[in-house]
Amino acid sequence: MSNRRPRRAAVTGIGVIAPNGLRSDAYWKSVREGLTVLDLIGREGCGHLPLRVAGEVRSFDPAALIEDRFLVQTDRFSHFAMAAAALALDDAGLGGEPAEPFSVGVVTAAGSGGGEFGQRELQKLWGQGSKFVGPYQSIAWFYAASTGQISIRGGLKGPCGVVASDEAGGLDSLAHASRAVQRGTEVMVVGAAEAPLAPYSMVCQLGYPELSTLDDPDRAYRPFTEKACGFVPAEGGALLVVEDEERARERGVPVRATVAGHAATFTGASRWAESREGLARAIRGALDEADCAPEEIDVVFADAMGVMEADHAEALAIADVFGGRGTRVPVTAPKTGIGRAYCAAPVLDTVAAVLAMEHGLIPPTPNVFDICHDLDLVMSQARPAELRTALVLSRGLMGSNAALVVRRGDESAR
């Protein structure tokens, strides 16, 4: 190992369970076309709440994808995560138990836990009594549930971790996985899936000052416009397989992208003006780690909070890093078509970035037509472009800022 170059984390598998598509091809088709699936929330017990619009995963049948013994002991967020992990492993040609279990680890980010399962058990406890609380509450509600279940279901004994975080944690999880690969683990299953649309979970989110409470799906989440009125939450997520690039090439699977650099900073919950410097520093840190000049970035996947002050800070952070090119580097935010699935939002963006590079096409920002910031935001329809390197940005409601640089698979072979 001493005479080889530093290990690099390659993306070789993608699994998506998103409001606008199950599996990565369906997700990409919707993203590319700028389809918006935001809608009034239809889940039981939610109709009376002032949070009206969200991105729901509606066509997902967990029983078709996950064995009963796992279904009964897990919340919806883990159903999404387990299904997405299996899709990603299959996509990477790594279905079935690994020959060397310690060589495959799991890292997920989690920002909301097993809320629906937890609410059911709380209802049993307080409505009926403590003896009615089921045996799986202790393993379904907590943030570590998805990592644990993915590890058990797949027989994966490598380094296992959980970043319980705000949105930016989704990018942090990808960095965790890449670093585990750099330290010597062969393969990591990584990403996030969330299910924050149970009634009590929604009540909890009402405190976020950035939450959009508009009841018009076409207007509820319009970042970078003068009509920005907050963000719309979503459920679902994505898991990826990242592995040592050389190993991937040796076993002959396509290297779809490499995770080239990451950095994270903190500037305080809801202090959006200060996030300008935090985000700019995160971007510079990620570029440094990737050994990448700002000019090499072909597209930026924006955080797009949908709050005027936050959008302004993001536009300025991009200008701070890219200088005069800040107004010309293409920026997009496909999440306006599906909402923000908390930690899963930047993971879905990373998937979109990988697919965009593969297809040479920058997906548009649905529902956004008239922006009030000095950005080249891709709107209306997808834009063809040669994309070698993408930058994914994320900020969290509790104050984290993160940036991730991903390069197209064939670019990293240089």
Residues 26-31: contacts with CB within 8 Å, 24+ apart?
Answer: 27/238, 27/348, 27/351, 27/352, 27/355, 28/352, 28/355, 28/359, 30/337, 30/338, 31/334, 31/337, 31/352, 31/355, 31/363
**Residue 141 sits in the site that holds another protein (CB under 8 A):** yes
Phi, psi of 64 (to 5 degrees): -75, -20
**Residue 194 sits in the site that holds another protein (CB under 8 A):** no
Minimum distance of another protein from residue 159's CB (angstroms): 5
Minimum distance of another protein from residue 86's CB (angstroms): 15
Question: Residue 35 or residue 203: which is nearer to another protein going by CB?
Answer: 203
Q: Which helix (H) or strand (E) holds 258?
A: strand 257-266
Instruction: Give the list of residues 6+ apart from residue 320 with CB closer than 8 angstroms, or none.
Output: 276, 277, 280, 326
Minimum distance of another protein from residue 27's CB (angstroms): 26
Tokens for 351, please give them.
Answer: 């998937």
Question: Residue 121 or residue 311: which is nearer to another protein going by CB?
Answer: 121
Q: Are 94 and 13 in contact (CB under 8 A)?
A: yes
- Binder to another protein among 12, 20, 137, 332 (CB under 8 A)? 137
Q: Residue 406 in 3-state DSSP?
A: strand
Strands (E), 294-414: 299-301, 330-332, 361-362, 376-377, 383-384, 389-395, 400-408
Neighbours of 52 (CB within 10 A): 18
Minimum distance of another protein from residue 183's CB (angstroms): 8
Site for another protein in 152-171 (CB under 8 A): 152, 154-166, 169
- Quote the CA–CA distance of 218 and 53 in Å, as a whole number: 10
- Binder to another protein among 2, 63, 68, 129 (CB under 8 A)? 129
CA atoms within 13 A on the CB side of 333: 26
- Binder to another protein among 46, 85, 89, 355 (CB under 8 A)? 46
Question: Binding marks (x or -) toward another protein, 97..116, rule CB under 8 A?
Answer: ----xx--xx---xxxx---
Question: Residue 279 or residue 406: which is nearer to another protein going by CB?
Answer: 279
Minimum distance of another protein from residue 202's CB (angstroms): 8
**Residue 53 sits in the site that holds another protein (CB under 8 A):** no
- Kind of pairing between the strands at 236-244 and 376-377: unpaired
**Residue 6 sits in the site that holds another protein (CB under 8 A):** no
Point out which span in 47-55, 56-64, 222-230, 329-337 binds another protein (CB under 8 A): 47-55
**Residue 95 sits in the site that holds another protein (CB under 8 A):** no
- Binder to another protein among 95, 96, 126, 323 (CB under 8 A)? 126
- Binder to another protein among 24, 30, 265, 350 (CB under 8 A)? 265
**Residue 144 sits in the site that holds another protein (CB under 8 A):** yes
Question: Residue 236 or residue 278: which is nearer to another protein going by CB?
Answer: 278
- Binding footprint of another protein, residue count (CB under 8 A): 86
Tokens for 209, please give them.
Answer: 């000052």
Minimum distance of another protein from residue 180's CB (angstroms): 10
**Residue 45 sits in the site that holds another protein (CB under 8 A):** yes
Question: Residue 266 or residue 301: which is nearer to another protein going by CB?
Answer: 266
- Binder to another protein among 35, 125, 372, 385 (CB under 8 A)? 125
**Residue 385 sits in the site that holds another protein (CB under 8 A):** no
Instruction: Say which DSSP state 225 is in.
Output: B
**Residue 394 sits in the site that holds another protein (CB under 8 A):** no
- Binder to another protein among 24, 36, 119, 212 (CB under 8 A)? 119
**Residue 203 sits in the site that holds another protein (CB under 8 A):** yes
Minimum distance of another protein from residue 166's CB (angstroms): 4
Tokens for 274, please give them.
Answer: 């200060």
Query: H helices of 128-252, where?
Result: 137-140, 145-154, 169-183, 199-205, 245-250
Buried b (16+ CB within 10 A) or exposed e, 144-174: ebbbbbbbebbebbbbbbbbebbbbbbbbbb
DSSP secondary structure, 276-291, as one string: HHHHHHHHHHHHHHHT
Point out which span in 14-22, 260-268, 328-336, 371-379 binds another protein (CB under 8 A): 260-268
Point out which span in 215-223, 229-237, 357-365, 393-401 binds another protein (CB under 8 A): 393-401
Tokens for 273, please give them.
Answer: 């003006």
Longest Cα separation, the chain: 65
**Residue 142 sits in the site that holds another protein (CB under 8 A):** yes
